[in-house]
Chain A
Amino acid sequence: DAGVTQSPTHLIKTRGQQVTLRCSPKSGHDTVSWYQQALGQGPQFIFQYYEEEERQRGNFPDRFSGHQFPNYSSELNVNALLLGDSALYLCASSLAPGRPLHFGNGTRLTVT
């Protein structure tokens, strides 16, 4: 059991569409981070949410946005999908920013 749950597990979208991915953090964790993992690559940091605000952001365009809810769950939204957005999207939660991350199983997004 990962503790961190993500939905859906797989998703197929068409170029130009929009997608929303969801994440529930491990119980007791209030910080959520999102990562993109392309095939054969390590996870790339997208952004981190803490106290319902985006606290840090990686080198991703504004098409990538997110939200954190009062129950600490989080959403990742990607607009105007590109073929290059095809990847495994990982959600990770932690007790606080900078603490060890606990990862979910990820959402596999395929853009056709």
Chain B
Amino acid sequence: AQSVSQHNHHVILSEAASLELGCNYSYGGTVNLFWYVQYPGQHLQLLLKYFSGDPLVKGIKGFEAEFIKSKFSFNLRKPSVQWSDTAEYFCAVNAGTGRRALTFGSGTRLQVQP
């Protein structure tokens, strides 16, 4: 069965600091990888996704993530965070042909202080 681990449960940063949120998955085959974000009071939104090709994917609002197959990781990065990035971030994976349901990690709460 596929599973996702997000090791950082709560991260506090100052504006302009760099961000890296960890995500590891357990599945030995082909995977599709996603990061979703949930801003306070809003619904979950897709931040970026990886299906195949270039392992460095760019998403909305300056976020990017790198798929490292050998490490089963898909870490989320942003060079300089803003107060508006305060939100909860979820990593998700679906394995195999990609038609399987998404499995989510437990989430990382990011708090950016002005």
Binding site for B on A (CB under 8 A): 2, 4, 33, 35, 40-45, 48, 56, 58, 90, 92, 97-98, 100-106
Contacts and interface: CB of A to CB of B under 8 A. Distances in A.
B43 interface: yes
Contacts of B46: 100-102
Contacts of A98: 32, 94, 97-100
9 contacts: A33-B102, A42-B4, A42-B107, A43-B102, A92-B44, A98-B32, A98-B94, A98-B100, A103-B36
Contacts of B43: 2, 4, 103-106
Contacts, number: 53
B107 A41 contact: yes
B44 A45 contact: no
Contact of B106 (A35, A42, A101): A42
Contacts of B98: 98
Interface in B1-53: 4, 6, 32, 34, 36, 42-46, 49
B101 A58 contact: yes
Contacts of A40: 106-107
B67 interface: no
Given A98-B94, A106-B43, A33 B104 contact: no
B90 interface: yes
Contact of A45 (B32, B90, B102, B106): B102
A95 to B, nearest CB: 12
A41 B94 CA distance: 18
B94 A42 contact: no
B103 interface: yes
The interface centre, meaning the residue of A44, A90, A101 with most chain B CB atoms within 10 A of its CB, is A101
Interface string B78-105: 0000000000001010100111111111
A103 B43 CA distance: 6
B107 A100 contact: no
B44 A103 contact: yes
Contacts of A105: 42-43
Contact of A97 (B49, B92, B99, B106): B99
